[in-house]
Copies of this chain bind each other. A is one copy, B any other.
Amino acid sequence: MGRPTSLEVIPVPGIGEVARHADIARLILDACEESHIEWRQRDIVVVTHKIVSKAEGRVVAVDTDEQYRAVVESEAAAIVRRRGDLVITQTRHGFVCANAGVDRSNVSAGHAVLLPERPDRSAHTIRMGIERATGISIAVVVTDTFGRPWRRGLTDVAIGVSGMPAILDLKGTTDATGRVLDVTEVAIVDEIAAAADLVMGKATGVPAAIVRGLTWPPGEGRAADLVRPADEDLFR
């Protein structure tokens, strides 16, 4: 591999409140122009699913905690664990997360945001919109904020991807000493999601960022690549 280069992680502010049927690609293009962010080949656009879901109409009314719990149950494909109000679910996409990804923050009072139905398709639509307008090749990663067992605190992860592999497979690669690596699969889109969250934050109203300077091998990833099959998983 060549000399590694630096990455830039660039917040895209100014997108504002997103309405149903909004064109997310257009909103990002306009926000980048407003902030004088010029596009580069192989930019990775990271977008929180929240604005994607709002544009796709994946918002429901929830006035009471009981209604919220009912929405969570209906969005869950399976319940993995339950303790008091905390419900760890598997979504229809295969993701294991709290409350089936149904979220009441950053949405108008009395409402909750669901996950996009097909986040890879959402990522692809955004990518096509930006590629058509700019004439360059990019990748798009749609994110959510998940907890994890064993470790406190939440991190952003990828739930949709277009234009790059989800997993970097180093099978057969040797380390600096010539030994074949034990670690063969790196979840690069999750690392990209985490990097982007450092500039997006939860309280800043910045729902998108650009990760610039990364190179990746050919391959079209899907979020399903990130789902560990149940029979390989010791913690279901």
Q: CA A168 – CA B226 in complex, angstroms? A: 26
SS class of chain A's interface: helix, strand, loop or mixed? loop
In the complex with contacts A81-B234, A155-B194, A206-B4 CB distance below 8 A: yes
In the assembled complex, how far is the CB of residue A176 from the closest CB belonging to chain B, in whole angstroms? 4
Please, which residues of chain B bring their CB within 8 A of the CB of A155?
A: 186-187, 190-191, 194
In the assembled complex, how far is the CB of residue A212 from the closest CB belonging to chain B, in whole angstroms? 9
Please, which residues of chain B bring their CB within 8 A of the CB of A105?
A: 175, 179, 181-183
Stretch at the interface among A106-114, A115-123, A126-134: A106-114
- A43 interface contact, C-beta 8 A: no
- Of chain B, the residue at the smallest CB distance from A167 is B153
Please, which residues of chain B bring their CB within 8 A of the CB of A167?
A: 152-153
- Of chain B, the residue at the smallest CB distance from A189 is B153
- A70 interface contact, C-beta 8 A: no
9 contacts between A and B (CB under 8 A): A1-B204, A4-B11, A106-B179, A107-B177, A107-B179, A145-B186, A150-B235, A186-B197, A194-B194
| A-to-B contact residues, CB < 8 Å | 1, 3-11, 13, 17, 81, 83, 86, 88, 95-96, 103-109, 145, 148-157, 166-168, 170, 173-177, 179, 181-183, 185-188, 190-192, 194-195, 197-206, 211, 214, 225-228, 233-236
